[in-house]
Amino acid sequence: MKRDMREIFLPEIRTALENLDARPFAPVQIFRSLHRRCAHDFATMSDLPGALRKKLAADFTIATVTLASRQRSKDGTVKLLLKLHDGLKIETVFLTEGRRRTQCVSTQVGCALGCTFCATAALGFERNLTAGEIVAQVEDSQSREGRAANLVFMGMGEPFLNYENVLRAIRILNHKDGANIGARRMTVSTAGLPEGIRRFAREKLQVRLALSLNATTDKQRSRLMPVNRKHPLAEVLDALRHYVDTTGRRATIEYVLIPGENDSDGDLRRLTKIARSVKVNVNLIEMNPGARKAVYPVGGGQAPRWKRALLEAGVEAVIRFRRGTDIHAGCGQLALRVKNG
């Protein structure tokens, strides 16, 4: 089987070209063609000798994604439905707030974790994305939509269940001869896999970590997030403390406020205690319409009060305002749907 050139590190390209009589600068030319110019065909790499392009085409392939649909929200959010080589589809979202532009990236086709408030969970799990497909999702989309300097791996799937491919993609996207997206401008979000959190702490990267918490007791979290039955709160929070202590960086807790489910004063007190003990920031997210509306109601406007209480307690807290909900592009809404579809 041919290897995907789009997921190969620059040193690996050098090794691959050792027996192909290539010029010393050819590996960098190939890498830049793939990751700066989004070349989809070796034949278009006109700065390479024709004989080398033919050899590369015989031995390697290049991952691409095909645009299946594009939707633009009334608030400017853009959602792309992308088709993979095997016909499966994923979604990626571009969010603009002032001068800040962010791309929300998927790491799996569907998701296996079954969080009850997330529409992606209803799809089930199909497969992991390859590193090349993750890179293609970012680079091909940005070649169409324009540069997004910030990446959040918060789209479809659980990144730490596809650890190797996600980390390989991050390193490629971060490379100075490629997309050159700053590590500190990337965030990986997990539903709470302790082994992945601890492993991530050992990576020599400045990439940020976010934990999707959404509950403050095991009974409550196990109902909302079945992964908690295997990895209860104490285990997850211990791993998060290890990450903070090992890296010296603050992590972020993401908390979706679901009316009548996890937004009581007791929940607020427990979240405050957790945030202070682990030394994290808190992102408050109101439950979006249509995420799993048959199960949970839309957020009831508790976020501002919670933010004030957290700030008064010395916890850095922000509200992630709803974006793109009219095109099902908001948090918890990604489910391969088009508007009115």
Of the candidate ranges 25-34, 78-87, 194-203, 298-307, the one whose mean pLDDT is the lowest: 298-307
Please tell me which residue, 26 or 322, carries the higher pLDDT value.
26
C-alpha span between 175 and 276 (Å, rounded): 35
**Looking at per-residue confidence, does 230 or 341 come out higher?**
230
In terms of DSSP bridges, do strands 89-97 and 317-320 run parallel, antiparallel, or are they unpaired?
unpaired
Provide the mean pLDDT of the chain.
Answer: 94
pTM: 0.95
- What are the tokens at 178? 């490629």
**Closest by CA position to 52, among listed 61, 40, 43:** 43
Q: What is the pLDDT of residues 187-215, one digit of tens each?
A: 999 999 999 999 999 998 999 999 999 99
Looking at CATH, the fold of the domain delimited by 66-327 is given as TIM Barrel (3.20.20)
Domain 3-61, CATH among 3.40.1410.10, 3.40.190.10, 1.10.150.530, 3.40.50.2300: 1.10.150.530
Give me the numbers of helices (H) and strands (E) for the chain, helices first please. 11, 14
- Give the catalytic positions in this structure: 91, 331
Q: Say what the pLDDT of residue 340 is.
A: 40
* Residue boundaries of the structural domains of the chain: 3-61, 66-327
pLDDT digits (tens, 9 = 90+) for 84-120: 999 999 999 999 988 899 999 999 999 999 999 999 9
pLDDT band per the 50, 70, 90 thresholds, residue 335: confident
* pLDDT for the residue 258: 93
| Residue 288 pLDDT level (bands cut at 50, 70, 90) | confident
Instruction: Give the whole-angstrom CA distance, residue 94 versus residue 105.
Output: 9
For residue 293, pLDDT beyond 90: no
pLDDT at 187: 98
Q: φ and ψ at 327, to 5 degrees?
A: -120, 20
3-class secondary structure per residue, 166-179 = HHHHHHHHHCCCCC
